[in-house]
């Protein structure tokens, strides 16, 4: 039996922390589905554990917010699978995705055994021959935008794990796709940072960006994350999110050059670089795709977003 541990991003960018009594006022995204979701509540010590068909959410939030959190996870799961999985089956996730909402950084770091880690969200998954056998998200409720930026970002990684059957995505695409789900406010913050990078001409060459592995050094992160989100946006705009995922899948097998020809009629990474250069000549013209808006155009998801 082959097991693979797939530890994805540590969502931690741009000083988004707001220390204080964020637990009591954390805004859970209002994304209740049109159909009521069956929820059960248990408690274990300080934890409220709310179970839905696909999630087991552990938090110390007030009960109403804990329920809203779980409903929000279900809504995001549907939304993300609609976007990224062409023929998503309707089966529930088994095992369920565990979601832990930690009260603060010390609790988060202690649980994950990462002393000093300043991230606010992380995802881990295990796969057995392409099937997900473990899904887990940890987020920090003392970050101001944990529920509408970090949580959908991490949920995207979980859905991508399902879509790609445990095969590692190129780093730029894994993070670029995850960032498409973040809030408009988070996008504004990232865009401001990235336009600064464009102005100082410190972006990656596309050939370097698409082959970057692991976490870039701290001084390169604004460039890496901003450019990954921008490049994902550029390619998603050419067709659909699901077709972008097909392109990424093929690029893993046959390389970016041939996959760009097959999916976007571009003559490899060189042509993509040229198109990129034209786009970013005016940093003000760069913008990001917002996935909730993009997929909100389909009737089923639009109804869910109302
Ligand atoms: Zn990530």
pLDDT tens-digit map of 181-197: 999 999 999 999 999 99
CA of 123 relative to ligand 1 center, distance in Å: 8
Is 131 part of a structural domain of the chain? yes
Q: Say what the pLDDT of residue 117 is.
A: 86
pLDDT of residue 302: 42
> Is residue 177 assigned to a domain?
no
Per-residue CA distances from 156 to 9, 131, 180 (Å): 11, 17, 9
C-alpha 173 to ligand 1 mean position (Å): 10
Is the residue at 124 inside a domain? yes
Q: Report how many domains make up the chain.
A: 2
Same domain, 162 and 66: yes
Ligand 1 centroid–CA 299 distance in Å is: 28
Q: Judge whether 154 and 122 are in contact, CB under 8 Å.
A: yes
In this prediction the pTM is: 0.87
pLDDT of residue 34: 62
Same domain flag for 189 and 286: yes
Does residue 176 belong to any structural domain of this protein?
no
pLDDT of residue 268: 97
- pLDDT of 12 reads 55
Contact 160, 127 (CB under 8 A): no
- Ligand 1 centroid from CA 60, angstroms: 24
Domain residues for 119? 3-168
In a domain, 178, yes or no: no
Q: Which residues contact 222 (CB under 8 A, 6 or more apart)?
A: 14, 193, 194, 196, 197
Same domain for 242 and 198:
yes
> Which residue(s) pair with 3 in the sheet?
128
Residue 177 alpha carbon to ligand 1 centre in Å: 9
Q: Residues 15, 115: one domain?
A: yes
| Three-state secondary-structure class, residue 135 | strand
Residues 149 and 192 in one domain: no
Q: How many Cβ atoms are within 10 Å of 163's Cβ, its own excluded?
A: 23
Residue 197 Cα to ligand 1 middle (Å)? 20
Residues 159 and 12 grouped into a single domain: yes
Query: 150 and 7: one domain?
Result: yes
| In a domain? residue 273 | yes
State the pLDDT at residue 298: 44
pLDDT of 180 = 96
> Does residue 306 lie in a domain region?
no
Do 126 and 217 sit in the same domain of this protein? no
Ligand 1 centre distance from Cα of residue 45 (Å): 30
Whether residue 300 lies inside any domain: the answer is no
Residues of the chain with pLDDT under 50: 1-2, 8, 13-32, 297-306
- pLDDT at residue 28 in the model: 45
For residue 305, what pLDDT is reported? 39
């Amino acid at each position: 039996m082959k097991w693979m541990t797939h530890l994805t991003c540590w969502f931690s960018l741009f000083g988004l922390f707001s220390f204080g009594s964020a637990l009591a006022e954390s805004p859970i995204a209002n994304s209740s589905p049109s159909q009521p979701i069956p929820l059960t509540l248990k408690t274990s010590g300080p934890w409220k554990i709310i179970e839905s068909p696909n999630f087991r959410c552990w938090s110390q939030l007030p009960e109403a917010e804990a329920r809203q959190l779980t409903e929000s996870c279900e809504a995001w799961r549907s939304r993300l699978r609609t976007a990224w999985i062409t023929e998503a089956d309707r089966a529930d996730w088994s095992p369920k995705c565990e979601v832990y909402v930690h009260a603060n950084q010390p609790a988060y770091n202690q649980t994950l055994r990462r002393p000093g880690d300043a991230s606010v969200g992380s995802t881990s998954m295990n796969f057995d021959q392409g099937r997900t056998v473990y899904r887990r998200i940890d987020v920090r409720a003392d970050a101001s935008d944990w529920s509408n930026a970090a949580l959908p970002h991490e949920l995207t990684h979980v859905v991508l794990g399902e879509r790609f059957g445990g095969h590692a995505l190129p780093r730029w695409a894994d993070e670029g796709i995850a960032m498409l789900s973040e809030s408009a406010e988070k996008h504004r913050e990232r865009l401001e940072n990235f336009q600064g990078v464009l102005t100082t001409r410190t972006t990656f060459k596309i050939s370097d960006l698409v082959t970057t592995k692991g976490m870039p050094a701290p001084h390169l992160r604004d460039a890496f994350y901003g450019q990954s989100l921008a490049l994902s946006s550029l390619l998603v705009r050419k067709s659909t999110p699901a077709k972008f995922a097909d392109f990424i899948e093929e690029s893993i097998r046959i390389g970016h050059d041939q996959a760009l020809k097959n999916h976007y009629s571009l003559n490899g990474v060189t042509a993509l670089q040229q198109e990129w250069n034209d786009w970013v000549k005016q940093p003000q013209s760069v913008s990001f795709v917002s996935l909730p808006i993009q997929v909100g155009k389909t009737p089923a998801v639009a109804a869910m977003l109302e």
